[in-house]
Amino acid sequence: MRIGEAAAAVGMTTKAIRFYEDRGLLPPAERSANGYRDYAHDTVSRLEFIRRSQLAGLSLAQIQGILRVRDNGITPCTHVQDVLGKQLMDLDRQIAELTALRATVAEHYATAEAADPECCDAEQICSYV
Amino acid sequence: MRIGEAAAAVGMTTKAIRFYEDRGLLPPAERSANGYRDYAHDTVSRLEFIRRSQLAGLSLAQIQGILRVRDNGITPCTHVQDVLGKQLMDLDRQIAELTALRATVAEHYATAEAADPECCDAEQICSYV
DNA sequence: ATTGACCTTCCACCAAGGGGGAAGGTCAAG
DNA sequence: CTTGACCTTCCCCCTTGGTGGAAGGTCAAT
């Protein structure tokens, strides 16, 4: 199948598919006699795996790591578990950071609600932040 | 004061200060006879305001908006409250998104822990994602 | 007079994940 | 035989918040 069909099959753009090939997430495509990329059906599975992984918030680099393991003939289960574990820790860290930031901003907001606008000192631009 | 002194006073790089000027967060600097930027003391306050605002997670565009209001001679209190309110909503949205993503990833992770590695189907690369 | 520490401008680069569009080749249908 | 829909490679563009370096000017101290 040609790149446009593969793209339509998984709901990606042809640009994205070429980009993934360029980044090493897809092996260099087979070519038809006219030079067009010619994909086997398993490429669709691979693209769908990339999509599922992205939905799990994995970066292309992480996805590439998993695919490389699979391409070496090893079942990537252990590696995937590692990556998912790291991803969980990373998400927890991000959520904690955002939650802390939210508390700070909420505090500023409460100050701004309670304060007297006339007390604004031009020197420090704004005392609520 | 010269740019290096201003930078040292607030713990920024000279690069960052020129960048802020370029982005319109600072007015075009006064120049000494030799062409060097020559800052008045209130620039330091302005830079500190920028820093405080960044610590509250505001983007340079948002900070610029606040400074523009202040530069128009208006006390930016109301505008700042608006921006902080938007920031709170934005943070809540981001936290909700990350929390939902975390739940998804945790589910994948639990599946991976419970599943039999031998059931791995090469066709779909990895059934845990 | 020359070194060193400043300063100036401008241009390039980084993360991530692609999108836009040019210039050109290929192929089937009307 | 020409039109339209594909495909190819190529390079530039976007976001945000800067950083790095080159090429050159300025100034105080040695």
Distance from chain centroid for Cα A97: 19
Percent of chain A with pLDDT over 90: 80
Q: What pLDDT tens digit does each residue of chain B (129 aa) get?
A: 999 999 999 999 999 999 999 999 999 999 999 999 999 999 999 999 999 999 999 999 999 999 999 999 888 888 899 999 999 999 999 999 999 999 999 999 998 888 766 667 777 788 888
Of B67, B98, B109, the CB nearest to A94: B98
Distance from chain centroid for Cα A50: 10
Chain B 40-99, residues with CB within 8 Å of chain A CB atoms:
42, 45-46, 48-49, 52-53, 55-58, 66-67, 70, 75-78, 80-81, 84-85, 87-88, 91-92, 94-95, 98-99
Question: Tens of pLDDT along A44-64?
Answer: 999 999 999 999 999 999 999
A113: CB partners within 8 A, 6+ apart: B81
Residue closest to A83 by CA, chosen among A68, A69, A65: A65
CA angle B34, B40, B41 (to 5 degrees): 140
The CA-atom distances, in angstroms, between B112 and each of A73, A128, B78 are 19, 48, 51
Give strand letter and number of the nucleotide nearest A2 (CA to C1'): D7
Neighbours of B25 (CB within 10 A): 21
Question: Tens of pLDDT along A58-97?
Answer: 999 999 999 999 999 888 888 999 999 999 999 999 999 9
In CATH terms, the fold of domain B3-124 is Multidrug-efflux Transporter Regulator; Chain: A; Domain 2 (1.10.1660)
**CA A15 – C1' C19 distance (Å)?**
8
In CATH terms, the fold of domain A3-114 is Multidrug-efflux Transporter Regulator; Chain: A; Domain 2 (1.10.1660)
